[in-house]
Amino acid sequence: MSFAARLASELDQFKRDGVYKRLNYLASPQAARVRMEGRGDVVILSSNNYLGLCSVPEVVEAGKRALDQYGAGTGSVRFICGTFTIHRELEAALARFVGCESSLTYVSCWNANEGLCPTLLGEQDIVISDQLNHASIIDSIRLAKTITKCQTAVYRHSDMADLEERLKAARDCRLRLIFSDGIFSMEGDIAKLPDIAALARKYDAVVAIDDSHATGVLGQTGRGTAEHFRMLGEVDIIITSTLGKALGGAAGGFTAGPAALTDYLTQRSRPQLFSNALPPTVAGSALAAVRYVEQHPELVRRLHENARYFRAQLTALGFKPLEGETPIVPVILGETAQAIQMSERLLGEGVFVTGFGYPVVPQGQARVRCQLSAGHTRDDLDFALQAFRRVGAKLGLI
């Protein structure tokens, strides 16, 4: 069998297994409602555009100005060709926003995570990871284990007793790094940061939190998991996050923490050293997004009001969304085929929400994952809820 034929055969199996991903093409900016090719106007319940900033004029115009001032890109990596001043401004703003001394941008949060563990950890060190961490954290740990021969451990999801056992077993390690998502993207629940930090102090460990789904979302002013727990500015917490979700939705990520950390990453983090900097357009729009959130904290309140309303109304219809206080509202359906069918039927009703099944989520816990935005109006949400009611009734789910 040829190489191409083997790939085609595996793709056919993906389709039979119900895990083949079909792309839907949008012909308008990402927003609460979009124009989808072949579908017309559709309500979006599957975007990380939590604050609706992707199409805010101030954010878009800032990207245009940066394009005019700095051009299309850096042309090389930062330490070789020079760093634009817009990157310095953005990193200062991000550090201030998440309550850290310093920050360093990457072309994605995947790169930020990938650049953390292999750079900081050696054979004498260990990284201890939550069982449900994002794939980028998992791959960062795998990479570090392969390259630096560091030790690794996994604790049961948000199980602090199990985490403590892992820390006890790692007493002889030089560095103990606890790595967790802030908001877990498939469940919508929040890491127990106060408990994690208390254990870190007890066992002299360092905490890293990936706040990709929490930046712009948690806390009264959207500064993330630390603000949510009134821990903003605690110096022993490393934060990684993205610019590709609530902060304008374009691309890019960052790592924030002590100045010595970001300086060290600048010297040794391979994804930073050998990748071009963020395009100036992205840096400019992200900087404008940070400033916009600082000036409009009411967006965060509106986001959570929308999430509470939608979750409550889904429950009233007879669905079983997971409990929580984040704008990620997973509706558990059971088997993968049910989730995929639900997603497809909803799209036919003008609502775009993605179905997830095994192996993305455990067997028997397939779901459609609804993601709310401050950009949704009550009419948008009621339109989506009526679609859920009709489809749920047709499929015998309610």
Catalytic residues, which ones? 185, 213, 245
Please give the helix or strand (H or E) that residue 208 lies within, else none: strand 206-210
Question: What are the φ/ψ torsions at residue 266 (nearest 5 degrees)?
Answer: -60, -35
CA diameter of the chain = 61
Give the closest residue to 352 by CA, choosing from 29, 38, 46, 27: 46
- Beta strands 354-356 and 351-352 are unpaired
Give the closest residue to 63 by CA, choosing from 334, 278, 324: 278
**Alpha helices by DSSP H, the chain:** 3-17, 57-70, 78-81, 85-98, 109-114, 117-120, 135-147, 160-169, 193-202, 225-228, 259-268, 270-273, 280-295, 298-317, 336-348, 378-394
In the structure encoding, which two tokens stand for residue 181, read together? 């998502």
354: Cβ contacts below 8 Å, ≥ 6 apart: 46, 343, 368, 369
- What per-residue string of b and e applies to 169-193 under the rule 16 or more CB within 10 Å gives b? ebeebebbbbbbbbbbbbbbbbbbb
CA–CA separation, 264 and 171 (whole Å): 25
Placement of tokens 């021969």 in the chain: 149
CA–CA separation, 34 and 30 (whole Å): 6
In the structure encoding, which two tokens stand for residue 287, read together? 């900087």
